[in-house]
């Protein structure tokens, strides 16, 4: 195998883009060679602005079979270190490179899945894995026209960015693409089923729309939901951008073992089948999330594909715009009118958490190499970026914002752009000084905190807001924060007065409160980007009455503030759980989903090891009470049942679980994913490996499902027995599993109500971590760092000491170092909460 090429740097990319232009690829892949490898033949034609100069191509291959530059054959060893030097270039050049390449098992490059359901292979080339599949100028601003040819078994379905140009089932030739970056070209092939839906109107055009997935999941594709979302999204975006949908068709391709939730491959959007196609009933929150993800990827057809960032510094331009516009489309063009509740509960909290890490960075941040770009797909890039762009839209107005977007697309369609181009288009539409805005919001890192206090004076109660900002925020962007006073009226909170307060200028802000004020809620419109701390009297009033606040968005913001306080040890975990118990049955599906998402692991991670099992048992019984109280067969009952399944520890919980598996829980017993959650929960509460093995085998036979194999392995890894944990560790460490298979196994392994079960793996973790990162796969390194980090070990302080020692050795690459720093920060927070929980009894 040729060595992996050194990461492409920003400087190298700029030099190459300044030299090379008018690039075209003809890529031929022979994927009929067996399960281990494929043959890649790529012919690249391009122009050179300064003949006689030199550049290079990247290509990672097991075996170089042929290299030809401008008609001259070169020795295979000319391609060395993953780079092919191209010297003495002509004005017009043609390069042909043929190699044998290995299929991926980590989801990077050309990934291949083979199981009892057939074969599926697909590309995932973002940020810079195109050169794992074909020789390429693998950088975003060297956009090119691509033409794919695939040699495949004749029965296979094959999908790419453009329609097929021929009818030969063995040699599939696709029409050339328009100018695209290497990261969004794609193919998917294998034993796939296709459904053609009614075409989508786009101006005078009728766009073909297809749904593609593995056959056994095809029946679960929500065809009506998908089609209506696409139709509404395309109409909405065409109206906002003044540009038609850029392509001639759209395929929605659902794929196994897909690392990302979804990917904006041009006209062939890819989705993770586990996340978006379910044989079980999908909650309202799940349907809303699926619609938002689809709208996000659809927005990328304009932001990212039609106009592409020049370099990874401006990844945020792609992702933040797609995130903002997807929520605007969701709430304005679809049935999900409360879409911003989902943004508040998931996106804003993600942004806030990411911005509190020591590794926080400005939204517009320098990315030195394509590898460094991997860690830029974070809550700051997506969610903080979207929140800030929303504030820009509010500042200059929707119509001015739209005019600027239309100008931006006209100027840069089928080309590349950067932050300065966007700011210039916006500045033309407003008298506001956007240099000041970009300096305050895009080039600084960190998030401020506003802490509310109630002060009693001779004139009555006064609301005092103490403001604290990290030292990194040298310029404080002005923000407007709402403060709404509520009174209690027969057990319900009713608004009395709302004040608009300017945040950022003074360290302390004071405002008189109405005499009947029971609670004060902040940022009810979710316009400000701040961490919030409510005063103690307000929290006490919220425990029995938060659900009576009329605005779902205001409640969502309040829940976020309360959970942020809990994970910072400013609020007792028991108080938060009590709030949840008293109010959750009246919440929206999206808020319930977000809260169960953070609470499910909290009983393991935020409780001292000596009290972990007892606390989790009490939590499981609480959730079961809520399951019983929820409307039968409703959305809330199903979501709460999934959460309760994690905590099958008490006799009552284990009896409920057994009854569900025996068919005694009505519609819940028919939910395939819930059944597996229950089996995993029962396994984690028992040391009986044989009993779990019997349950797994019974379920596989009686209730077949797409996830049976991986969920069964998850359950076996969850068993509270040292040998079960050791077997799971060896399997993950063997390198024989795909990323997805490892992920499910790790989810079982890390569940341990007795921390002693995980203590033997602290040493191996720190020994193996540098080796894993040296092997070069970001996705495998990320998985080990984020999923296998020993958060649940008995001695958290020892884990911190070892982590800091490893950090001090400097043996991890930049992405691994960043993720380790974040894991240290997470564990430090957990230890603080555990200490507070222990003191609270």
Kindly report the three-state secondary structure assignment for every residue of 499-536.
EEEEECCCCEEEEECCCCCCEEEECCCCCCCCEEECCH
Other C-beta atoms closer than 10 Å to the C-beta of 3 total: 11
Same domain membership, residue 267 and residue 185: no
Looking at residue 43, its pLDDT comes to: 99
In this structure, are residues 535 and 453 in contact, taking their beta carbons and an 8 Å threshold? yes
629: its two tokens: 């109280």
Tokens 């008995």 belong to which residue?
794
Q: Are residues 182 and 197 in the same domain?
A: no
pLDDT at 351 over 80: yes
Q: What is the 3-state secondary structure (H, E, C) of 372-409?
A: HHHHHCCHHHHHHHHHHHHHHHHHHCHHHHHHHHHHHH
How far apart are alpha carbons 403 and 355 in whole angstroms?
31
Query: What's the domain count of the chain?
Result: 3
Dist CA 523 CA 452 (whole Å): 12
Q: What is the pLDDT of residue 840?
A: 74
* Coil/strand/helix, residue 220: coil
The pLDDT, as a whole number, for residue 3 is 61
Do 165 and 217 reside in the same domain of the chain? no
The secondary structure of 318-349 as a DSSP string is HHHHHHHHHHHHHHHHSS-TTHHHHIIIIIIH
What is the percent of the chain with per-residue pLDDT over 70, rounded to a whole number?
99
Residue 1 has pLDDT above 70, yes or no: no
Pairwise CA distance, residues 186 & 393, whole Å: 33
Q: Examine the domain organization and report whether 113 and 233 are in the same domain.
A: no
Distance CA 84, CA 497 (A): 68
- First CA to last CA across the chain, in angstroms? 58
What does each C-alpha distance from 424 to 382, 405, 411, 440, 650 come to in angstroms? 22, 11, 11, 17, 62
3-state secondary structure 579-613: HHHHHHHHCCHHHHHHHHHHHHHHHHHCCCHHHHH
Q: Which residues are 456's β-sheet partners?
A: 461
Dihedral pair phi/psi, residue 97, rounded to 5°: -135, 130
Q: What is the pLDDT of residue 2?
A: 60
Whether the Cβ atoms of residue 171 and residue 13 lie closer than 8 Å to each other: no
Q: Pairing state of beta strands 157-160 and 492-503? A: unpaired
Residues 176 and 298 in one domain: no
In a domain, 833, yes or no: yes
- Per-residue pLDDT at 505: 64
Q: What is the mean pLDDT of residues 600-615?
A: 93
| Mean pLDDT value across residues 88-108 | 97
User: Is pLDDT at 23 greater than 60 in this prediction?
Assistant: yes
Active site residues: 297
**With contact defined as beta carbons under 8 Å apart, do 573 and 606 qualify?**
yes
Q: Are residues 125 and 200 in the same domain?
A: no
pLDDT tens per residue, range 260-270 = 999 999 999 99
209-252 pLDDT tens trace: 999 999 989 889 999 999 999 999 999 999 999 999 999 999 99
Hunting for tokens 């299929």 — which residue is that? 103
Residues 6+ apart with CB under 8 A from 350: 379, 382, 383
143 in a structural domain: yes
Instruction: Tell me, yes or no, whether 186 and 197 share the same domain.
Output: no
Hey, what are 474's tokens? 């040298």
From the CB of residue 774, how many other CB atoms can be counted at a distance below 10 Å? 12
User: What single string gives the DSSP state of each residue in 418-445?
Assistant: -HHHHHHHHHTT-SS-HHHHHHHHTS--
Domain boundary among 191, 206, 232: 191
185 and 249 inside one domain: no
Q: Is 788 helix (H, G, I), strand (E, B) or coil?
A: coil
Angle between helices 589-605 and 612-629 (to 10 degrees): 160
Q: Is the CB of residue 79 less than 8 Å from the CB of residue 64?
A: yes
Is the pLDDT confidence value at 703 over 80?
A: no
- pLDDT in the model for residue 739: 87
Task: Answer yes or no: is 183 within a domain.
Answer: yes
3-state class of 201 per DSSP?
A: strand
**Average pLDDT of the segment spanning 326-337:** 98
Residue 353 pLDDT level (bands cut at 50, 70, 90): very high
In a domain, 186, yes or no: yes
Residue 624, pLDDT score: 98
Mean pLDDT of 323-338: 98
Q: Is the pLDDT of residue 704 over 70?
A: no
711 neighbors 679 (Cβ within 8 angstroms): yes
* Shared-domain flag, residues 12 and 100: yes
Q: What's the CA gap between 833 and 675, in Å, rounded?
A: 32
**With pLDDT > 90 as the criterion, what percentage of the chain qualifies?**
88
Structural domain ending residue among the three candidates 409, 432, 455: 432
Q: Retrieve residue 101's tokens.
A: 């390449």
Asked if pLDDT for residue 93 goes beyond 90, the answer is yes
Which residue, 157, 191, 225, sits at the end of a domain? 191
Task: Tabulate helix, strand, coil % of the chain (nearest 5).
Answer: 45, 20, 30
Q: Indicate whether 788 belongs to any domain.
A: yes
Q: What is the mean pLDDT of residues 353-380?
A: 93
Alpha-carbon distance of 753 to 484, in angstroms, equals 42
CATH assignment at residue 207:
1.10.390.10
Query: Quick check: is 766 in a domain?
Result: yes
Task: Average the pLDDT over each of 76-85, 454-463, 613-622, 672-681 and give the range with the smallest value.
Answer: 454-463
Q: Nearest to residue 645, comparing CAs of 636, 629, 633, 656?
A: 656
Asked, for residue 588, whether it belongs to a domain, the answer is no
One domain, residues 168 and 196: no
Average pLDDT over residues 346-362: 96
Look at residue 58 and tell me if it is in a domain. yes
Beta-sheet strand order (sheet of 508-512): 508-512, 460-468, 449-457, 531-533
Cβ(429)–Cβ(401) under 8 Å?
A: yes
Q: What is the CA radius of gyration of the chain?
A: 27
Q: Do 56 and 2 reside in the same domain of the chain?
A: yes
Lowest mean pLDDT across 131-140, 145-154, 494-503: 494-503
CA angle 163, 168, 174 (to 5 degrees): 25
CATH value at residue 98: 2.60.40.1730
Residues constituting the chain: 841
Q: DSSP characters for 453-511? A: EEEEETTEEEEEEEEE--TT--S---EEEEEEEEEEETTEEEEEEEEEEEESSSSEEEE
Average pLDDT value for the chain: 95
**Residues 69, 95 contacting (CB under 8 angstroms):** yes
Do residues 166 and 259 share a domain? no
Cβ count within 10 A of residue 667: 13
- Determine the structural domain holding residue 306 and report its residue range: 192-352+371-432
- Residue 705: per-residue pLDDT: 66
Question: How confident is the model at residue 67, as a pLDDT?
Answer: 98
pLDDT tens for 440-471 read 999 999 999 999 999 999 888 999 999 999 98
pLDDT in tens, 35-47: 999 999 999 999 9
Q: Which residue has the tokens 């910072």?
A: 568
C-alpha to C-alpha distance for 520 and 534, rounded to whole angstroms: 7
Record the pTM.
0.96
């Amino acid at each position: 195998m040729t060595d992996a090429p050194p990461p492409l740097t920003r400087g190298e990319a700029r030099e190459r883009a300044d030299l090379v232009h008018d690039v075209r690829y003809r890529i031929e892949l022979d994927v009929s060679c067996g399960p281990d490898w494929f043959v890649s033949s790529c012919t690249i034609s391009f122009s050179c602005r300064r003949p006689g100069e030199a550049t290079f191509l990247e290509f990672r291959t097991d075996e170089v079979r042929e290299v030809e530059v401008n008609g001259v054959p070169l020795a295979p060893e000319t391609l060395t270190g993953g780079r092919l030097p191209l010297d003495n270039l002509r004005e017009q050049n043609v390069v042909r490179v043929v190699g044998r390449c290995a299929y991926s098992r980590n989801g990077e490059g050309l990934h291949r899945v083979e199981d009892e359901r057939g074969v599926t292979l697909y590309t995932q080339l973002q940020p810079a894995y195109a050169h794992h599949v074909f020789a390429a100028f693998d950088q975003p601003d060297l956009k090119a026209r691509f033409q794919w040819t695939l040699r495949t078994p004749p029965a296979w379905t094959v999908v790419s960015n453009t329609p097929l140009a021929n009818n030969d089932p063995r040699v599939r030739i696709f029409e050339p693409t328009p100018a695209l970056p290497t990261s969004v070209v794609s193919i998917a092939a294998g034993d796939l089923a296709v459904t053609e839906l009614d075409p989508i109107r786009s101006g005078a055009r009728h766009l073909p729309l297809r749904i593609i997935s593995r056959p056994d999941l095809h029946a679960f594709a929500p065809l009506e939901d998908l089609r209506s979302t696409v139709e509404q999204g395309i109409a909405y975006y065409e109206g906002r951008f003044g540009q038609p949908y850029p392509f001639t068709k759209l395929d929605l391709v659902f794929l196994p073992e897909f690392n990302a939730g979804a990917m904006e491959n041009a006209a062939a959007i890819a989705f993770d089948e586990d996340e978006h196609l379910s044989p079980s009933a999908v909650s309202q929150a799940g349907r809303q999330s699926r619609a938002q993800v689809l709208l996000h990827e659809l927005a990328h057809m304009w932001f990212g594909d039609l106009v592409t960032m020049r370099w990874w510094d401006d990844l945020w331009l792609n992702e933040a715009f797609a995130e903002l516009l997807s929520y605007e489309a969701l709430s304005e063009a679809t049935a999900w009118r409360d879409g911003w509740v989902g943004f508040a509960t998931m996106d804003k909290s993600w942004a806030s958490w990411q911005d509190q890490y020591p590794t926080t960075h400005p939204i517009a941040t320098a990315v030195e190499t394509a590898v460094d770009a991997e860690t830029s797909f974070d809550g700051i890039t997506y969610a903080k970026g979207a929140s800030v762009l929303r504030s820009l839209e509010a500042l200059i107005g929707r119509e001015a914002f739209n005019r600027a977007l239309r100008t931006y697309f006209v100027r840069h369609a089928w080309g590349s752009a950067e932050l300065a181009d966007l700011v210039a288009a916006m500045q033309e539409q407003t008298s506001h000084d956007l240099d000041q805005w970009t300096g305050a919001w895009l080039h600084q890192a960190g998030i401020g905190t506003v802490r509310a206090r109630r002060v009693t004076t001779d004139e009555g109660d006064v609301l005092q807001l103490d403001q604290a900002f990290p030292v990194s925020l040298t310029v404080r962007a002005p923000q407007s924060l709402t403060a709404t006073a509520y009174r209690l009226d027969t057990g319900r909170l009713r608004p009395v007065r709302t004040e608009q307060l300017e945040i950022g200028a003074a360290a302390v802000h004071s405002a008189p409160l109405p005499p009947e004020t029971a609670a004060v809620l902040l940022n009810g419109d979710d316009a400000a980007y701040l961490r919030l701390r409510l005063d103690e009297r307000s929290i006490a009033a919220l425990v029995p009455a938060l659900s009576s606040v009329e605005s779902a968005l205001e409640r969502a913001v309040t829940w976020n503030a309360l959970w942020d306080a809990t994970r910072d040890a400013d609020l007792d975990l028991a108080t938060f759980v009590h709030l949840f118990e008293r109010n959750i049955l009246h919440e929206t599906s999206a808020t319930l989903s977000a809260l169960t998402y953070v609470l499910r692991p909290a009983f393991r991670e935020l409780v001292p090891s000596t009290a972990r099992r007892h606390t989790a048992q009490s939590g499981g019984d609480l959730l079961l009470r809520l399951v019983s109280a929820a409307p039968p067969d409703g959305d809330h009952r199903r979501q709460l049942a999934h959460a309760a399944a994690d905590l099958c520890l008490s006799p009552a919980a284990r009896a409920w679980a057994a009854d569900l598996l025996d068919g005694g829980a009505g519609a819940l017993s028919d939910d395939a994913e819930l059944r597996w959650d229950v089996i995993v929960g029962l396994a984690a509460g028992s040391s009986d490996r044989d009993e779990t093995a019997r349950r797994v085998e019974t379920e596989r036979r009686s209730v077949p499902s797409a996830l049976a194999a991986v969920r069964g392995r998850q359950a076996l890894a969850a068993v509270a027995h040292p040998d079960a944990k050791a077997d799971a560790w060896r399997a993950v460490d063997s390198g024989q599993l795909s990323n997805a298979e490892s992920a499910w196994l790790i989810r079982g392994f890390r569940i341990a109500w007795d921390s002693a079960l995980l203590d033997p793996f602290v040493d191996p973790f720190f020994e193996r971590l540098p080796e894993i990162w040296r092997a070069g796969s970001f996705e495998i390194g990320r998985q080990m760092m984020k999923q296998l980090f020993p958060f649940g070990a008995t001695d958290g302080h020892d884990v911190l000491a070892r982590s800091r020692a490893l950090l001090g050795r400097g043996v991890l690459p930049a992405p691994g170092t960043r993720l380790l720093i974040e894991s240290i920060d997470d564990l430090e927070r957990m230890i603080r909460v555990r200490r507070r929980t222990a003191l609270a009894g």
